[in-house]
Chain A
Amino acid sequence: MKRVALLGMPNTGKSTFFNRITGASARVGNWPGVTVDLLGAKVLLGGEIVELVDLPGIYDLHGFSDDEQVVRHFLENNAVDLVLLIVNTSQIERQLSLVLQIKQLNLPAVVLLNMSDEARKFGITVDTQQMGEVLDLPTVSLSAKYGTGYKEAYQLINRAVQASHPVRLERIREMLAQDAQIEAAMEAALSKAVQIPVQLSDNLTARLDHVLLHPWFGLPLFFVVMYVLFQAIFFLGSPLQEGVGWALDQLRQGVLDPALAPAPAMLRGLLLDGIYNGVGTVAAFVPIIILFFLFMAIVEDTGYLSRAAFLMDALMSKMGLDGRSFVMMLMGFGCNVPALMGTRVMRSRALRLLTMLTIPFSLCSARLQVFIFITTALFTPRAAPVVLFSLYMFSFATAFLTALLFKKRFQNTEPFILELPPYRFPTLRQMALRGWHEARHFLNRASKFIIAGVVLVWLLTHFPAGAAPASPQTWAGMIGAFLSPLLDPIGINQQLAIALIFGFVAKEIVIGSLAVIYGMEGTALMGLMGHQLDWVQAYSFMLFTLIYTPCLSTIATIRSESKSLPFTLLAVGWPLGLAWLLSFAFYQGARALGY
Chain B
Amino acid sequence: MNTVKLSALKPGEAGIISALNTEEDLFHRLAALGFRIGKQVNVIRGARFAGPLQVRIGTTDVMLRINEARKIDIKPLS
Contacts and interface: CB of A to CB of B under 8 A. Distances in A.
Interface of A: 9, 59-60, 62-64, 90-91, 93-94, 97-98, 122, 124, 179, 183, 196, 200, 209, 213, 215-216, 218-219, 306, 309-311, 313-315, 317, 323, 347, 415-421
A94 B58 contact: yes
A314 B50 contact: yes
A60 B63 contact: no
Contacts of A59: 28-29, 32-33
**Residue among A62, A216, A219, A306 with max Cβ neighbours from chain B (10 Å):** A62
A218 B45 CA distance: 12
Interface in B18-42: 22, 24-26, 28-34, 36
A9 B47 contact: no
A309 B47 CA distance: 11
26 contacts: A60-B31, A93-B34, A93-B58, A94-B33, A94-B60, A97-B31, A98-B32, A196-B58, A209-B45, A215-B48, A218-B47, A218-B48, A219-B48, A310-B63, A311-B51, A314-B47, A323-B52, A415-B64, A415-B67, A416-B64, A416-B68, A417-B26, A417-B30, A419-B61, A419-B63, A420-B63
A60 B45 contact: no
A64 B63 CA distance: 20
B9 interface: no
Given A64-B25, A310-B47, A417-B64, 15 more contacts: A94-B57, A97-B31, A122-B59, A209-B45, A209-B54, A311-B47, A313-B65, A347-B25, A416-B52, A416-B63, A416-B68, A417-B29, A417-B63, A417-B68, A419-B61
A209 B56 CA distance: 13
A94 B32 contact: yes
A216 B47 CA distance: 9
Interface residues of B, number: 33
A179 B32 contact: no
B62 interface: yes
Given A215-B45, A313-B51, A315-B49, A419 B33 contact: yes
A308 B19 CA distance: 30
Which of B24, B29, B62 is the most central at the interface, judged by chain A CB atoms within 10 Å of its CB? Answer: B29
A323 B64 CA distance: 10
Contacts of A314: 47-52
Contacts of A63: 28
Nearest to A314: B51
Contacts of B64: 415-418
A415 B68 contact: yes
Nearest to A97: B32
A179 B32 CA distance: 11
Contact of A309 (B58, B59, B63): B63
B34 A94 contact: yes
A317 B49 CA distance: 11
